[in-house]
């Protein structure tokens, strides 16, 4: 069983660090990024500590689905569905991951440039 750690996102889950939560259920939390890259930039994280996408296991299928459904719900809530939005996750140092806690970025509110 995975346990909470002292990572910044686990501390947000526990309420030790303030965040602007805009979505939550029993499995995930969605909150605004403090350094937004788009008008809408929300992070979706699991309540349990999982270091990255590479750490998901077969037993995590419900959680993986909950993360993606949360991203969809946030996009609807933020009214960015009509024009489109992006959902990404960074995995590992070369993938640009800076916090070792699985998280998805929901970005929208303007035309986004191609990734590369």
Write out the catalytic residue numbers: 103
Report how far residue 63's alpha carbon sits from residue 103's, in angstroms, rounded to the nearest whole number.
12
Strand partners, 105: 43, 88
Kindly state the helix (H) or strand (E) to which residue 68 belongs, with its residue range: helix 61-77
Of 83, 84, 70, 93, which Cα lies nearest the Cα of 22?
70
Residue 26, CB-side half-sphere exposure with 13 Å CA sphere: 2
Q: Following DSSP, what letter does each residue of 7-32 receive, concatenated?
A: SHHHHHHTTSS---EEEE-SSEEEEE
């Amino acid at each position: 069983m995975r346990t909470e750690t002292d990572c910044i996102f686990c501390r947000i889950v526990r309420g030790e660090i303030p965040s602007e939560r805009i979505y939550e259920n029993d499995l995930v939390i969605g909150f605004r990024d403090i350094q937004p890259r788009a008008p809408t930039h929300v992070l979706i994280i699991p309540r349990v500590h999982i270091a990255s996408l590479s750490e998901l296991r077969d037993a995590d299928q419900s959680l993986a689905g909950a993360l993606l459904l949360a991203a969809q719900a946030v996009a609807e809530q933020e009214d960015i569905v009509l024009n489109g939005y992006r959902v990404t996750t960074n995995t590992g140092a070369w993938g640009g991951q800076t916090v070792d806690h699985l998280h998805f970025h929901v970005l929208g509110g303007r035309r986004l440039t191609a990734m590369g």
